A = this chain, B = another copy of it.
Amino acid sequence: MDIKTYLSLKRQQVEEALDTLLPKPDNDLRLHLESLAYSLKAGGKRIRPILCLATAEALGREFAPQLMPIACALECIHTYSLIHDDLPAMDDDELRRGKPTNHMIYGEAGAILAGDGLLTFAFELMSQTDTSDLLPDRQRLRIIHCLAQAIGSLGMVGGQALDMAAEDKPISLEALQMIHKCKTGALITASVQTGAIIGQAAARQFQALTSYGNSIGLAFQIVDDLLDVEGTSAQLGKASGADAKHSKATYPAFFGIEQTRAKAQETIQSAIDALADFGPAADPLRELARYIYSRTN
């Protein structure tokens, strides 16, 4: 299979769905909704919804288009986290994916509210009940609970809090791994788990897929660290070397570039190994793991 064609096709499906989801009020709320749409449409690889789709398909289920709002909710959550992370009080970034960040266009208050709105909208999307024939209410609640835990104070939000606290301070490797796991890994794993619940994974399958998710979540962050050291701004769509600017701890800072590359490759292999019991339907997940690593070359 050609992963690039696969990703481009799925990405198009996700973006078409995203385009129709946000309400377009014909009143004073228009500008606020525009601020959500601005960041939601500012590109991005849509990896999290695609992981959700690909995981359901790995279990031999076609992903029903009626469930697309759940996959889109994952992208809303990711986008909210980027908007808040970019704020002046946080990482203070002016560019994201080559475009001005949300607060550069809509102001600080506007950006905080855009993030709040997207996070809330994600839960609105996940709690629709008009498709209970495709996804029983109990499984839908499981998804909401799993996501809320992954992105809350012991997950993504907590990871950002740790990251902020660690700025300009020497931290241990354990502390760095904890930050990565919470800040990036938790939502990646939850995206896979969401697909696993939709695909009606048995307990053992759910466990294997969770392990896959954990590994690619880690790989994702290691590769991001590498790109930040090696990459150009064009590849990143933001200023490279930003981590060094904020004196943030990174994998290359601990291990050097070569050992970090080896670590990334190892982690990708763990992800692929976790899928040993799955047939060819899981090939997109396997290729996705390899694709993450290929970004470093």
- Quick check: is A3 within 8 A (CB to CB) of the other chain? no
B158/A32 in contact, CB under 8 A = yes
Binds B, one of A7-15, A137-145, A195-203, A227-235: A137-145
Instruction: Tell me the nearest residue of chain B to A22, going by C-beta.
Output: B153
B154/A23 in contact, CB under 8 A = yes
Identify whether the interface residues of A are mostly helix, strand, loop, or mixed: helix
Residues of chain B within 8 A (CB-CB) of A28 are 162, 165, 175, 178
Residues of chain B within 8 A (CB-CB) of A152 are 117, 120-121, 124
Partner of A161, one of B23, B29, B138, B153: B29
Interface string of A100-117 (1 = CB under 8 A from B): 000000011110110111
- Quick check: is A33 within 8 A (CB to CB) of the other chain? yes
A42 to B205: give the CA distance in the assembly, Å: 45
- Quick check: is A119 within 8 A (CB to CB) of the other chain? yes
A153/B108 in contact, CB under 8 A = no
B113/A157 in contact, CB under 8 A = yes
- Assess A109 versus B123: contact at CB under 8 Å? Given A154-B23, A162-B32: no
Interface string of A174-196 (1 = CB under 8 A from B): 01001000000000000000000
- Quick check: is A25 within 8 A (CB to CB) of the other chain? yes
Looking at A36, A87, A152, the one whose CB has the most chain B CB atoms below 10 A away is A152
A123/B137 in contact, CB under 8 A = no
CB distance from A80 to the nearest CB of B (A): 8
A127 to B142: give the CA distance in the assembly, Å: 7
A107 to B145: give the CA distance in the assembly, Å: 29
Partner of A25, one of B107, B138, B154: B154
A128 to B145: give the CA distance in the assembly, Å: 7
A55 to B293: give the CA distance in the assembly, Å: 55
The 7 closest A-B pairs by CB, nearest first: A89-B108, A124-B148, A117-B153, A32-B161, A137-B137, A127-B145, A120-B152
* Apart from the given pairs A32-B153, A126-B144, 17 other A-B contacts in the complex at a CB distance below 8 Å: A28-B165, A28-B178, A33-B153, A89-B112, A109-B161, A109-B164, A110-B161, A112-B112, A113-B157, A113-B160, A117-B157, A119-B119, A119-B120, A120-B151, A124-B145, A129-B141, A141-B141
